[in-house]
Chains A and B, each alone.
Chain A
Amino acid sequence: MMADTPIPTTKEAGLLGCRYCTRVWPSGTKTCGCCGSKLVSRDLQSLQKVWAWWLVALICYVPANLYPMLRTSTLGSVSQDTIVGGAITLAEHGSYFVAGVILLASVVIPILKFLAIAYLAISVARPSTAREGTRHMLFELVEYIGRWSMIDVFVVAILSSLVHLGNFASVEPGPASLTFALTVVFTMISAQSFDSRLIWDQQEFEKDTDRAH
């Protein structure tokens, strides 16, 4: 499937590629003459940014799970639901599918995202045996799916504005809605800070060592 001859990279050719408009410039060029973005051959500070946002996101994820997402009052009785508690309530009422969606978007995806970003950041910092194509697919998956975790925050917003039925029922947002929204935002920024070109640099490193032997 792959071409037999290795594909040269912009870096190997002594050039700079723009990550926003795909234009190629001579090395040493500071800003892209087409779209005006800053040009960097490899964003070496990107890993520090990735880890910094990753850590902040993780710190926000703890209260997001401990505090209630929603405060529901029905006929005088008040119930508070955390993310996992809300999914369990849904399942008890027989809505297994929606409970699954919520668990997937608010628990499984965020945790997998934390693990995937950490794995990618570690894998480019040292020699890795995992295939570049596989790691690249993992990165694209993280970037694509991460936004969907926002769904639970929107559900809280919709319910809190909709369910105002006097004494009968009302819903208010809980503190976890803020910390969970922040978790999603910070993991998105963490993934966006990652320079995916670093994944492919190891292939070149291996090629170089092959040549040396």
Chain B
Amino acid sequence: MSHHPEAFSPDATDLASLVACPSCDALYRMPRIAAGEDAVCQRCHRVIAAPRHRAGMQIISLAAASLVLLAATLFFPFLKISAAGVHNATSVLDVVLAFTSDELAILVLFTTACILAIPALRMGLLLYVLVPLVFDHPPSARARPAFLLSERLKPWSMAEIFALGCAVALIKVRDLAEVEFGPAFWMFAGLVFLVLQVQRNLCSRSVWDALEAATPDAPPTAATQEHLT
């Protein structure tokens, strides 16, 4: 079920109750939406908020599981090839090191980043931000820049593209040699599924709300400091 946020009336002064569509700048009063519902921009149809029931706990378990899978993926054979009695097995580490040969070394860095480092960093950052929030602890130090970084890295996390690349590579060498998937391929496929599930459950507006609620923004004024002392 999706709601359209109520159009903003200019006499309102409470900015905290407003929301601006990041894609088209339409201004709305933030609607009250229940978990499982979406707030969608009327004008450009961008999803502005999509809170999910118990999302925090789910994201934490999915992100933790994906980090374990990612670490395991590195050490098991990914693809195995054999032809004319010669065999070769390759791991994800071998794949990213394929470019080391000459001036293509920069591609090693880039491939490693897109298929391993950035997915791992994003999952780590989400754990760092969400664990204290979900377990009612004070937020981690610099939790807001950490979450902002995780949001900005999203398009550069390319695990799912790499998985499709494997399928294409398999078909390309089919005529040349026998190729089979190793255990790490199935782990990597599981990883792709987990990362997509994290994305489905993650509503960034809800995380920002929770971060703001946990750390009141305004530095204590003179009046509140009197109460503290």
**A residues bordering B, Cβ < 8 Å?**
2-3, 5, 7-13, 15, 17-26, 33-37, 74, 86, 90, 93, 95, 98, 101-102, 132-133, 136, 140, 143, 147-148, 150-166, 168-169, 172-173, 175, 177-178, 181, 185, 188, 192, 196-197, 199-200
Report 24 cross-chain contacts, Cβ distance below 8 Å, ordered by A residue.
A7-B26, A10-B26, A13-B8, A13-B10, A17-B20, A22-B49, A22-B208, A35-B148, A95-B174, A98-B172, A151-B161, A151-B165, A154-B161, A156-B98, A157-B99, A160-B99, A161-B94, A162-B173, A165-B177, A177-B99, A177-B104, A178-B107, A196-B44, A197-B25
A159 to B28, CA, bound (A): 51
Tell me the bound Cα distance from A18 to B18 in angstroms: 11
Contact B177 A154 (CB under 8 A): no
On chain B, which size bracket covers the interface?
35 or more
Please give 9 more A-B residue pairs, beta carbons under 8 A apart, in addition to A154-B166, A158-B165. A17-B25, A24-B18, A143-B155, A150-B114, A161-B95, A161-B98, A175-B104, A200-B25, A200-B44
Within 8 A of A (CB), among B196-218: 204-205, 208, 211-212, 217
Task: Mark each residue of chain B from 38 to 54: 1 if its CB lies under 8 Å from any CB of chain A, else 0.
Answer: 00001110001100000
Please tell me if the beta carbons of A22 and B48 are within 8 angstroms of each other in the complex: yes
Give the distance to chain B from A167, nearest Cβ to Cβ, in Å: 9
List of A residues within 8 angstroms of B44 by Cβ: 132-133, 136, 196, 200
CB within 8 Å of A: which B34-79 residues = 42-44, 48-49, 79
In contact, A22 and B171 (Cβ under 8 angstroms): no
- Contact A13:B27 (CB < 8 A) given known A150-B158, A155-B169, A157-B96: yes
Pair B172/A166 contact, Cβ less than 8 Å: no
Chain B residues with CB below 8 A from A165, complex form: 81-84, 86, 88, 177
Interface centre among B25, B111, B211 (most CB of A within 10 A): B25
A17 contact from B21, B86, B177, B217, Cβ within 8 A: B21
Contacts of B86 on A, CB cut-off 8 Å? 165-166, 168
